[in-house]
Amino acid sequence: MISTSLLQKLQQKLSPQQIQLMKLLQLPTFALEQRIKEEIERNPTLEEDESDKNEDSQEEENNLENDVFGDMEMFPSDDDNISYKNNDNYEKLDKNQLFISETTFHEDLISQLQLKPITEKQMLIGLELIGNIDDAGYLNRFIPSIVDDFLFRHNLEVSIKEIEDVLSIIQNFEPIGVGARDLQECLLIQLNKKTKTKEILLAKKIINRYFEYFKKKQYNIILQRIECSEEELQNAIEEIIKLNPKPGNSLSTQTDESISIIPDFNIWQINGKIEFQLNSFSKNKLKTNKYYENLLKNISDSKTTHDKETISFLKEKLESANIFIDALNRRNDTLSLIMKAIINYQKEFFLEGDIQKLKPMRLIDIADKIDMDISTISRVVSNKYAQTHFGVFKLKDFFSNFMINDIGQQVSTDKIKNEIVLAIEAEDKANPYTDDQLVEILKSKGYSIARRTISKYRETLNIPVARLRKTVY
C-alpha cells in the first residue's frame, strides 16, 4: 500500500554572501590584494573607483602650488610646515618594517582546495578544516566538535563522514602529511605515498602496530614481535626517520633569517590610548562599472534571444560584483571589530609591550564579547599579523588558555610551559627530571598540574622524556 506523509525539516543554506565572506576572512592582506586583482580580471563589471584618487591628486597639486608660488621663496624656513596628503594606509606605517610575503602555508592549502572539483558544501567543510590546521600541519580540533560547530554556529547539518571525506582530500595535498590528527597518522600518510618496497612495508607495519614502542625507542621489543632481521628493522627505522613530523613547517622555512610579512594591522599608542587601523595597500575602493549598468538598463526591455542571453550574463556578473564588494566591506568591519576587542582585552600588554602582561585569553572570550561565532574569530586570527611599536606579532600570540593556581588566580598555559622549559634547562643532564618530578617542582610554585598535563605540554614543546634527555659524561 502506498502511503503519504508530511515531514517538516529545518535546514539552512549559506547564502553566496556568507560563503564569499568566509573565504575572504581567511585571507591575510597580501593574499587579499591578489584575490581582488583576480576578481577584477575575471569580472568585467567590477573595477576600482578612481574618483577618490583624482580628488587627492588635485588637492596635492593645489597644495604644492600654494606652497611654491604663494610664498615665492625657494627654500622654506625651519618654522614652515609643508605637508602633503598621504595615503591614509601609510600614515602610521614604518616603511622599513614592511616586506612582501611569500605564499603562506594556509594560503597554499586553500589554493589547492579551490582547484578540486568539489561541491559548495565540501568547500565550506574544507575551509573549516584548513582553519583548524595548526602551523605544524596537524588538525587540532576533533571531528565531532567540527560537526557541532556547523550545527550550532551555522545551523548547517554536516555528518562525520562528510568531514572525513573532505579531510581525506586535504591529506593528499602538499606538503605530504598535512591534515593528520596525530603523529602516527602523519607518518602513515607519508609512507603511503612512497613506493611499496620491503623497507616501506615494514615501516608501515611498525607505525601501525607498534607505534608506542617506536616512540620510546624500544626496538628490541619490536624485533621480538616482528619476523625480521636486525638489518631489516634498521632499514625500516631509517625510512621512518626520513619522514617529516611537522609537514606544515616545511612551507614556512626560509633561507633568509628574517620572515618577510605584511602586517594586517598597525597598532600604536598616543598619550596612553591605543589606536589601530586595518592595513590595506589598495589605494582605491571597488565599484561596479557604470557602462555595464547602463547597458543592462537599455536592453532589459528587449525580447530577442540574443538580448536575453546578454541580460542574463550582465545580471550574473553585476550581482557577483556586488556580492564581492559587500563581502569585502563586511570583512573589513569584522576584522576591525575583532581587533578592537583584542586590544581592549590585552590593553596592558599593548601599552607596555611586556609579554608577561598578556592575560589568558581564548577565542571564546572574544566571541562572547562581540557576539560572533568562534569559527569566525578563528578565521580572522589565523595567519594574520599585527605591527606594534615593539615588534610584529601573530594574532594567535595574543591568545592562550589558562588554569587556576593555588591562590585562585588565572594563569596562562604559556606561563606554565615557560616554567617547564626553565626547570628542564636548569636540570642535571646526567639525572634529568621525570614528569613526576616536574609535577612537584611546579606544585612548589603554586601550580597544581596532573602528570598527564605535564606530559602533554612537554610534547607540544618538543621536549623528549627524561630517559632520552639523559647525557652520559
Which whole number is the average pLDDT over 101-120? Answer: 78
| pLDDT surpasses 60 at 105 | yes
What is the CB neighbour count within 10 angstroms for residue 78? Answer: 5
Instruction: List the Cα angle 175/178/184 in 5-degree steps.
Output: 120
Domain check: are 123 and 197 in the same one?
yes
Residue linked to cell 587556576: 404
User: Could you read off the pLDDT of 321-373 as tens digits, one per residue?
Assistant: 999 999 999 999 999 999 999 999 999 889 888 776 778 888 888 988 999 88
Whether 138 is covered by a domain: the verdict is yes
Domain boundary among 398, 427, 443: 398
Whether 10 is covered by a domain: the verdict is no
Domain check: are 275 and 374 in the same one?
yes
Whether 294 is covered by a domain: the verdict is yes
Whether 292 is covered by a domain: the verdict is yes
Q: Provide the domain count of the chain.
A: 3
Domain check: are 161 and 245 in the same one?
yes
**Of the candidates 132, 238, 125, 246, the residue with the CA atom closest to the CA atom of residue 182:** 246
Domain check: are 385 and 408 in the same one?
no
Domain boundary among 199, 231, 253: 253
User: Could you read off the pLDDT of 374-423 as tens digits, one per residue?
Assistant: 888 888 888 888 988 888 888 888 887 666 666 666 667 777 888 888 88
Domain check: are 222 and 149 in the same one?
yes
Q: Give the pLDDT confidence score for residue 62 in this predicted structure.
A: 54
Per residue, the 3-state secondary structure of the chain, as one string, reads: CCCCCCCCCCCCCCCHHHHHHHHHHHCCHHHHHHHHHHHHHHCCCEEEECHHHHHHHHHHHHHHHHHHHHHCCCCCCCCCCCCCCCCHHHCCCCHHHCCCCCCCHHHHHHHHHHCCCCCHHHHHHHHHHHHCECCCCEECCCHHHHHHHHHHHCCCCCCHHHHHHHHHHHCCCCCCCCCECCHHHHHHHHHHCCCCCHHHHHHHHHHHHCHHHHHCCCHHHHHHHCCCCHHHHHHHHHHHHCCCCCCCHHHHCCCCCCCCCCCCEEEEEECCEEEEEECCCCCCEEEECHHHHHHHHHHCCCCCHHHHHHHHHHHHHHHHHHHHHHHHHHHHHHHHHHHHHHHHHCHHHHHHCCHHHCCCECHHHHHHHHCCCHHHHHHHHCCCEEEECCEEEEHHHHCECEEECCCCCEEEHHHHHHHHHHHHHCCCCCCCCCHHHHHHHHHHCCCCCCHHHHHHHHHHCCCCCHHHHCCCC
CATH number at residue 429: 1.10.10.60
Whether 47 is covered by a domain: the verdict is no
Whether 58 is covered by a domain: the verdict is no
What the block records as the C-alpha cell of 365 is 572570550
Q: How far from chain centre, in Å, is Cα 147?
A: 20
* Sign of the torsion formed by the C-alpha atoms of 386, 388, 393 and 395: negative
Domain check: are 358 and 414 in the same one?
no
| pLDDT surpasses 80 at 155 | no
Q: Give the pLDDT confidence score for residue 2 in this predicted structure.
A: 58
Domain check: are 241 and 152 in the same one?
yes
Whether 377 is covered by a domain: the verdict is yes
Domain check: are 369 and 411 in the same one?
no
| pLDDT surpasses 70 at 142 | yes
Domain check: are 225 and 277 in the same one?
no
Domain check: are 343 and 218 in the same one?
no
Which whole number is the average pLDDT over 455-469? Answer: 83
Domain boundary among 253, 278, 309: 253
Domain check: are 392 and 414 in the same one?
no
Tell me the Ramachandran region of residue 432: left when phi exceeds 0, alpha when psi lies from -120 to 50, beta otherwise: beta
pTM of the entire structure?
A: 0.52
Domain check: are 299 and 351 in the same one?
yes
Residue 229's domain spans which residues?
103-253
Q: Give the pLDDT confidence score for residue 410 in this predicted structure.
A: 66
Whether 201 is covered by a domain: the verdict is yes
For residues 187 and 207, the answer to whether their CB atoms sit within 8 Å is yes
